[in-house]
Structure 1
């Protein structure tokens, strides 16, 4: 029987006409019976035994991941059904509300002990794992303890599978055709190096899954795809470490432990699979270096993204060339990547392909967005885009990727719509976006608006630009916000787009509990920045007047001057409030809008006072802003949670934070 080409990696085996080849999944065939010396046969037993157990362990590894996803998906579906069934118990009918005082005459019904226990466990988990205190930000970035804990569990799990099931021993064996004193030293280093290499292969499809925008993981878990980027990056780090250890192990074996040298090393490195291994490692190192922030800053994000795609695909091809018997892990990674790209194209086509009235034909047409510009040389110009597009309404909190074709058709960037998603009678939905022009495509767009305004013959018509949409992506942030849940929204600058649609959506609910507490805190650079979202703010004021919405606007940089705080009331008299109003618990009987002194709001005091002022129900904090603000919010929200108090019925200590993860890219 002619031995397959893969036997070249195990040339110590003795092939004779009477030999049989024993297949081993993902590895070289083994010759049986073994006719080498006793030491070599024992070594081969250890090698093939370690590999077979390693393949079993990778199966257990993936079975664990799939099992977790299955349980998570089932719990999410069953939990969603349960929430939907119980939501009505918190909705107080209008006839049972005191319309004069705005206070509920009845209290929410008591929840079951099982539900209360679940909330208490959730509050306890958030208290200890939501915070980022103790996390080494220089290594992990702006992440929570929970994210680091998941990473440590993954690393620990892989470490266990890297070492178990291997026979640790040393065998001194003769070398055929060499003097008796020339001996090979065979150790468990080779089987261990193979094990970590197999695990690196097994992690490849997981890395692709974690990076997919059209995320299967998000579909199952409900977690936004952006939340998986932390694990994607660290999975890449783990694969690199495993690959380096695999390479070092076999270099020591082939260049040091085997004899005679340098003949053994030269014969080894001349083999195609060894050379492909070197190529794969070089590509992996380039991928890793390309992810550094200083590399991205110097080359540009778009170059990084496209280079990352190309290098990743070539790397997968190289590792297939290195050891194609394990392509069962690599081909799925390629398939997942191409499915993700194809799904993105399908999304775009579904949004833009249709009947074009102006041309009287069916085809692909970009949306024409009206543009407005606010000049701000210090902080960056602000551009607002408004257009209507035929499509179904998206969910509150979802975002789109926008491509500005007059700048580049090869780039798209994520933006959250400012507008409340609702279809009009014609089947179209209004899109509104605001974006800060700091560099790249947004800077080009601001320059484009300025040029069009300067070149316009008449100032009556607003300049327009074609926009191609892709999306929507993400999950609804309004899901599960029942009428008894108190809502605090905190936004910094353009982060107002994340929370405004949510507030409008909540305030339009006629069954809203009048005892609910709702507040908006918005930090802006200049007082005139309110003009960005003036139509939406007017709608918010109108709706909030009947629900006791509190609006606080904090001006952080008024050309170095201290901005005087002001307050206006809807349906009531005006009143002056002191400079540290942002630190006091708000009233819920009227709509108030104020500007605080120069500087960022004390979000720690805002959250604590809000929770302390809650009469009943749990609290959700929705936030969008700079990473430093999100980190501070995570720390204070974690402290506000108390599982023991929730178990005793004090639901206000059940506090959850929902933030715009895209800002942490």
Structure 2
């Protein structure tokens, strides 16, 4: 293979050999012509450097992960310098002190959110933050620099035996092609790590697994470009520079390792093409997901067959993939196996809960289905989500959904709000509609859970500290991410004594959408009526205030909605000093008819909220469509003011926590 690859003579028997990791052993001394020997010196030296560069790259990656692990689990610098105080009910809560270390930490947080939270180059990279683009730029910069460093840019000539009219040309293209091939191999385990659901990266850093999707997608493009250039480079070398032709090319292309390389390139092309947005729309998301799993592992196997001397990278990729699938299956079995309470006694075995479905029919916007069920298992953390599979519809599909209920005493109560679109959710909505045609019991369906996944968004500060200002903004069914947080904080005995401001903004299409969570809204509205520091505002984007919301309200509540809905508009945001109702419904339908589509200015909402806060940092929790999250990133970046934060005005330390998996 060495002789065929570099056009040199076959090694002699009984020679001395030097070992090179990931490559052929080399016979020394070289017995070829001077040009071939000088070229082989360059090839082996370049390969050894390439292996060193790939090792350095992984050393840097592991070092960064170690720092993230230390910062997440055992941070030596406490991020909140607190002094303990006693509240009215003798419960200890932290109050923030304004030490230099604390203010410096807050200032750096504000700098990050002001400069790296914004989006950039959205036509190319989509809706992602500058921080993600910075990480991608650093990776591309490293790969670009070390793809060319250490390559000998020189030309060597060798005579062709029996053909005095021809000579073989050797240049640095061969070692350069090997370099990018080695880097592509070394990046493959990282690509697999970035896309796993049972993410080792999330375990080490505390960052939810879906936040790595951006880097996974673009790392796939990088590996594809590297592989294409690797293939093109060796095609030019073997089909043009090496002589005689076409005998050299025919011998080269018939080798087994080259055939495996071609197969690997075909698999990689399939992965890239069918991961584009237009291909996913054409074939469907489920085809993309299942084919991606299968073809990716076939690609790893083909890479192993192409260059088995670097199988260590492929073994690592397979190990990560198998670990992800195995842990995922094991967690699902544990979640559904064990002792489950029945009406009279505990039952041991496999238990699949039945979810009661409530249908909210809308011909204009599509149906919304509410699922309610109970299941015995350990409580999840607020902000985490489950993957739901409906075996009566399909055992091959599962969808990520955030429970809108608060975890508590077993059996855990699960509530999900699902907007029906296409595929499985549309079938789910059709089943939920069936009870409307008869007097039978509400429709139900079996649910298989997998999870929970993600990170908690409620820490001790939010539960207990009374000087953190909370602004919660949800769009449509994104309320499922916000609602448990509000219930955990607002519906507690400590909340009436809270000093900071809390506001809930819900953007919906029609006023009847409030019926999705009517009981939960009623409970929050009751607290808002007695707590001046808590306010609820609902923006209805596609209707006017001509009709009342179809909720079962008493006369006092109906009068409140009449007064707030008849006078509320976006102009109220421009007048912070105007009286604010604890519960207000703003109808934007008239403006939508005139302008095509109107949504509230979330930047103005944030500015108004900050103007009413007194002290303490601000946290903004949001969930909804991509456009909403994009607008909030810009608004939060503009609201952060590091200079004011350093001076002690923590209101302008605004942090955004959002659930970017949910759609409208």
- Say whether the fold is shared (TM-score over 0.5): yes
Q: What's the offset of the Cα at 1:485?
A: 1.1
Q: State whether structure 2 residue 442 is matched by structure 1 residue 462.
A: yes
Q: What's the offset of the Cα at 1:254?
A: 0.5
Q: What's the offset of the Cα at 1:138?
A: 2.2
Residue aligning to 2:239: 255
Q: What's the offset of the Cα at 1:80?
A: 8.8
> 8 Å contact 1:641–1:654 — kept in the other structure?
yes
Count of residues in Structure 1 that have an aligned counterpart in Structure 2:
640
Q: State whether structure 2 residue 649 is matched by structure 1 residue 650.
A: yes
The change in CA–CA distance for 1:299 and 1:172 in structure 2 (over 3 A counts) is same
1:180 counterpart SS class: strand
How large is the RMSD of aligned CA atoms in angstroms? 2.8
Residue aligning to 1:103: none
Q: State whether structure 2 residue 49 is matched by structure 1 residue 63.
A: no
Residue aligning to 1:44: 40
Residue aligning to 1:101: none
> 8 Å contact 1:218–1:224 — kept in the other structure?
yes
Segments of structure 2 that go 5 or more residues without pairing to the other structure are 590-597
Residue aligning to 1:139: 124
Residue aligning to 2:536: 551
Q: 2: distance between equivalents of 1:596 and 1:448?
A: 32
Matches within 5 A, 1:24-173: 24-79=20-75, 82-83=78-79, 86=81, 89=84, 93-94=87-88, 108-132=95-119, 135-173=120-158
Q: 1: distance between equivalents of 2:9 and 2:106?
A: 62
The change in CA–CA distance for 1:364 and 1:96 in structure 2 (over 3 A counts) is closer
Q: 1: distance between equivalents of 2:579 and 2:449?
A: 39
2:16 to 16, 20, 24: 20
Q: 2: distance between equivalents of 1:206 and 1:107?
A: 40
Q: 1: distance between equivalents of 2:36 and 2:322?
A: 45
Q: State whether structure 2 residue 515 is matched by structure 1 residue 519.
A: no
> 8 Å contact 1:73–1:220 — kept in the other structure?
yes
Q: What's the offset of the Cα at 1:596?
A: 3.3
Residue aligning to 2:593: none
> 8 Å contact 1:162–1:195 — kept in the other structure?
yes
> 8 Å contact 2:98–2:648 — kept in the other structure?
no
Q: 2: distance between equivalents of 1:517 and 1:588?
A: 16
Q: State whether structure 2 residue 232 is matched by structure 1 residue 273.
A: no
The change in CA–CA distance for 1:369 and 1:278 in structure 2 (over 3 A counts) is same
Matches within 5 A, 1:324-339: 324-339=308-323
Q: 1: distance between equivalents of 2:577 and 2:67?
A: 42
1:440 to 419, 423, 429: 423
Scaled by the length of structure 2, the TM-score of the pair is: 0.91
Q: 1: distance between equivalents of 2:628 and 2:548?
A: 24
> 8 Å contact 1:142–1:664 — kept in the other structure?
no
* Mean Cα deviation higher: 610-619 or 445-454: 445-454
Q: What's the offset of the Cα at 1:591?
A: 2.8
1:579 to 563, 569, 586: 569
Residue aligning to 1:613: 612
Q: State whether structure 2 residue 376 is matched by structure 1 residue 396.
A: no
Q: What's the offset of the Cα at 1:109?
A: 4.8
Q: What's the offset of the Cα at 1:285?
A: 0.7
Q: 2: distance between equivalents of 1:364 and 1:120?
A: 51
1:27 counterpart SS class: coil
Q: What's the offset of the Cα at 1:497?
A: 0.6
Matches within 5 A, 1:344-423: 344-355=328-339, 357=342, 362-423=348-409
1:307 to 284, 291, 297: 291
1:406 counterpart SS class: coil
* Alpha-carbon displacement from aligned partner over 1:572-608 (angstroms, at most 9, x marks no partner): 9896544223555489997333233323211111011
Residue aligning to 2:592: none
Scaled by the length of structure 1, the TM-score of the pair is: 0.91
* Alpha-carbon displacement from aligned partner over 1:480-508 (angstroms, at most 9, x marks no partner): 53432101011111011110110111224
Q: 1: distance between equivalents of 2:529 and 2:609?
A: 19
Q: 2: distance between equivalents of 1:493 and 1:109?
A: 35
Q: What's the offset of the Cα at 1:108?
A: 4.7
Q: What's the offset of the Cα at 1:360?
A: 8.4
Q: 2: distance between equivalents of 1:442 and 1:128?
A: 39
Residue aligning to 1:236: 220
2:585 to 594, 604, 627: 594
The change in CA–CA distance for 1:360 and 1:638 in structure 2 (over 3 A counts) is closer
* Mean Cα deviation higher: 401-410 or 474-483: 474-483
Q: State whether structure 2 residue 269 is matched by structure 1 residue 285.
A: yes
Residue aligning to 2:594: none
* Mean Cα deviation higher: 507-516 or 388-397: 507-516
The change in CA–CA distance for 1:525 and 1:237 in structure 2 (over 3 A counts) is same
* Alpha-carbon displacement from aligned partner over 1:409-454 (angstroms, at most 9, x marks no partner): 110001110111111xxx2110000101111111000111122442
Q: What's the offset of the Cα at 1:258?
A: 0.8
Q: What's the offset of the Cα at 1:366?
A: 1.1
Q: State whether structure 2 residue 603 is matched by structure 1 residue 604.
A: yes
> 8 Å contact 1:10–1:28 — kept in the other structure?
no
2:662 counterpart SS class: helix
Residue aligning to 1:659: 658
* Alpha-carbon displacement from aligned partner over 1:116-155 (angstroms, at most 9, x marks no partner): 11111121121111111xx222220111111111111110
> 8 Å contact 1:375–1:382 — kept in the other structure?
yes
Matches within 5 A, 1:169-180: 169-175=154-160, 177-180=161-164
Residue aligning to 1:640: 639
The change in CA–CA distance for 1:80 and 1:368 in structure 2 (over 3 A counts) is farther
* Alpha-carbon displacement from aligned partner over 1:200-236 (angstroms, at most 9, x marks no partner): 0001000000000001111111111110000000010
Q: State whether structure 2 residue 210 is matched by structure 1 residue 226.
A: yes
The change in CA–CA distance for 1:42 and 1:555 in structure 2 (over 3 A counts) is same
Q: What's the offset of the Cα at 1:361?
A: 5.9
Q: What's the offset of the Cα at 1:278?
A: 1.0
Segments of structure 1 that go 5 or more residues without pairing to the other structure are 98-105
2:451 to 444, 462, 471: 471
Q: 2: distance between equivalents of 1:516 and 1:129?
A: 27
